[in-house]
């Protein structure tokens, strides 16, 4: 499954989860993602969790501070230990993750956020990570 941009939500795996759970996403996403963090350890799974969380934040879902702290710690682990070997531009991916960490930190610090338009999947594109 391809990724069309370096933003964490821009891959088929994340969008499939979002589409399958859209009706109950607000109720379900926090527990599902905690389960992934606890039981499905690994770089690809952590990137999936980050994508779902970032997408959810962008559509207005509010998470507990405790959950966001876990996500921030997961991001730190990903930045420090991730290999990002499947990305066409490894450094671009790391920069996007650092930016997403800043989003989480800003929320935890009580700042209001404004997001740019959601990056939609184009009909034709060259995948930046086919591992998804």
pLDDT digits over 47-101, tens only?
A: 999 999 999 999 999 999 999 999 999 999 999 999 999 999 999 999 999 999 9
Q: Is residue 21 in some structural domain?
A: yes
Burial class (CB in 10 A: 0-12, 13-18, 19+), 78: buried
Structural domain harbouring 17? 12-108
Q: Is residue 116 in some structural domain?
A: no
Q: Is residue 85 in some structural domain?
A: yes
Q: Is residue 98 in some structural domain?
A: yes
Q: Is residue 6 in some structural domain?
A: no
Beta partners for residue 11, in sequence order: 3
Res 1 pLDDT > 90: no
Res 106 pLDDT > 80: yes
* Per-residue pLDDT, 9: 94
Of the chain, the percentage scoring pLDDT greater than 90 comes to 80
- Structural domains counted in the chain: 1
3-state SS, residue 68 = helix
Q: Is residue 46 in some structural domain?
A: yes
How many angstroms separate the CA atoms of 112 and 126, rounded?
34
Q: Is residue 66 in some structural domain?
A: yes
Q: Is residue 23 in some structural domain?
A: yes
């Amino acid at each position: 499954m391809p990724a069309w941009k370096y933003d964490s939500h821009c891959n088929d795996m994340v969008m499939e989860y979002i589409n399958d759970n859209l009706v109950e996403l607000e109720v379900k996403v926090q527990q599902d993602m905690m389960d992934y963090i606890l039981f499905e350890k690994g770089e690809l799974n952590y990137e999936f969790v980050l994508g779902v969380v970032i997408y959810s934040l962008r559509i207005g879902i509010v998470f507990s501070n405790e959950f966001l702290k876990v996500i921030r710690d997961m991001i730190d682990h990903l930045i420090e230990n991730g290999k990002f070997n499947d990305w066409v531009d490894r450094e671009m991916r790391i920069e996007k993750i650092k930016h997403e960490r800043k989003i989480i930190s800003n929320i935890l610090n009580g700042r209001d956020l404004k997001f740019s338009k959601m990056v939609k999947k184009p009909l034709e594109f060259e995948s930046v990570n086919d591992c998804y």
